Amino acid sequence: MINKKNVWFVTLCSLILVLTIYYVTMPDSSLEDVSNTDVVETSTVVNESTALVALRVEEDEKVLERMEELQTILLNETASVEEKNVAYEELMTINMNKGLEEKIQENIKQTINYDSFVKINGEQINVVVASKDHNTEIANKIIRLVQNEFETKKYITVKFQ
């Protein structure tokens, strides 16, 4: 028997899946900013952002796989209510972290003018910056910028690549 809760739940899961697929298939906007007039500069910019793109693709694949597992649990009729609640909470945490990661990446791009990749894993936040310069001043600015997004103290690492 289909009730309103089941319909609402399936609709929400479908929306999450559609938004995830949309995000994964979006073009990388950082590659659109590259000027075609200077071949040397274009080559350098593409090489720096290639590492970030690879990190994003790898992470997106992991997230999609985990989301599929969680959705399978949610749609499984034999799963207990507690298992479904845990899966739902984890799914919401994944979506919340994904949005926060994108916000932090955009803040770094706008404030410090560097492309970056951000991964939130509980209390640990890893930031990979597309730069050959290993500048401690910039790393400190990034750490402060990221920490400002949270009320509690986080363990933040910055890696230049």
**What pairing do the DSSP bridges indicate for beta strands 116-121 and 155-160?**
unpaired
Given pLDDT bands bounded at 50, 70 and 90, which one contains residue 29? low
Per-residue pLDDT at 15: 75
Beta bridge partners of 126: 119, 157
First to last CA, the chain: 54
In the structure encoding, which two tokens stand for residue 4, read together?
């309103």
11, pLDDT greater than 90: no
Average the pLDDT over 73-90 and give the result.
89
Q: Tell me: the pLDDT tens digits for 109-125?
A: 999 888 899 999 888 99
Q: What is the CA radius of gyration of the chain?
A: 19
Query: Which residues have CB under 8 Å from 76's CB, separation 6+?
Result: 84
Per-residue pLDDT at 28: 60
Which domains, from first to last, does the chain contain?
Answer: 4-22+37-160 (1.10.287.4300)
Per-residue pLDDT at 40: 47
Beta bridge partners of 156: 125
Average the pLDDT over 120-140 and give the result.
88
Given pLDDT bands bounded at 50, 70 and 90, which one contains residue 1? low
Q: Rounded to whole angstroms, how far apart are CA atoms 36 and 28?
A: 16
Nearest in space to 157 (alpha carbons), one of 116, 135, 128: 128
Q: Tell me: the pLDDT tens digits for 43-76?
A: 444 444 677 888 888 888 898 899 889 888 888 8
In the structure encoding, which two tokens stand for residue 5, read together?
């809760």
